[in-house]
Amino acid sequence: MSDADPGQQRRKRRQPEKAKQDPERLYVITGGPDGGDRAALDLVTIVVARAEPAPTVQPEQVAIVRLCKSPLSVAEVSAYLSLPFSVVTALLTELLAAELVESRAPMVRAALPDRALLEAVMHGLQKL
C-alpha cells in the first residue's frame, strides 16, 4: 500500500435530482418507440406459460410460450431467443393479453425494499 494520491482528479459529489427519481418519467422516456401500449414488464418480471398456443400464433410467440413452460424472467427469454428486450416485451404484451402467458410481478417496483426482503436476500447470499 502506498500513500500516493490516486490521481490528481477528484470527483465532486452530486445531489439527488427529483426528476431523475421519478419512475413515471423513466417510463415515458423508455416507452415503446411506436408509442404503443406495452405491458409493464421489467427485466426481472417472471413469466410462465398458461396454455398451448393456437396454430395461428406467430412463431416467435410460440417459441416464447414453449420456453416459459417453467418460470423465466423476461431477461432470460430475451437471452435464450436472441431477441432484443423491447421486441420480447412487445411479443409478451400480446401473449399476456391472449392469456397464453401470465406474469408474476417483480416484488419491488419503484418502492424502497423493506427489511424483510433485504434480510431474505442476505440469508440467501450467505448460503452461497
* Contacts of other proteins in 81-120 (CB under 8 A): 81-86, 89, 104-115, 117-120
Residue closer to other proteins, measured from CB, 99 or 122: 122
Q: Mask of contacts with other proteins, 16-55, x by CB under 8 A?
A: xx--xx-x--xx-xxx-x----x--xxxxxx-x-------
Q: Dihedrals φ, ψ of 12, to 5°?
A: -115, 130
Q: How far is the CB of 86 from other proteins (least distance, A)?
A: 6
> Nearest to residue 44, comparing CAs of 91, 98, 104?
104
How far is Cα 60 from Cα 66, in angstroms, rounded to an integer? 10
Q: Mask of contacts with other proteins, 49-78, x by CB under 8 A?
A: ----------xx--x--xx--xxxx-xx-x
With CB under 8 A as the rule, give the number of residues binding other proteins.
Answer: 77
How far is Cα 64 from Cα 110, in angstroms, rounded to an integer? 27
Q: How far is the CB of 99 from other proteins (least distance, A)?
A: 18
Longest dimension (CA), the chain: 69
Q: How far is the CB of 95 from other proteins (least distance, A)?
A: 16
Sort 20 into a burial class: Cβ within 10 Å, 0-12 / 13-18 / 19+: exposed
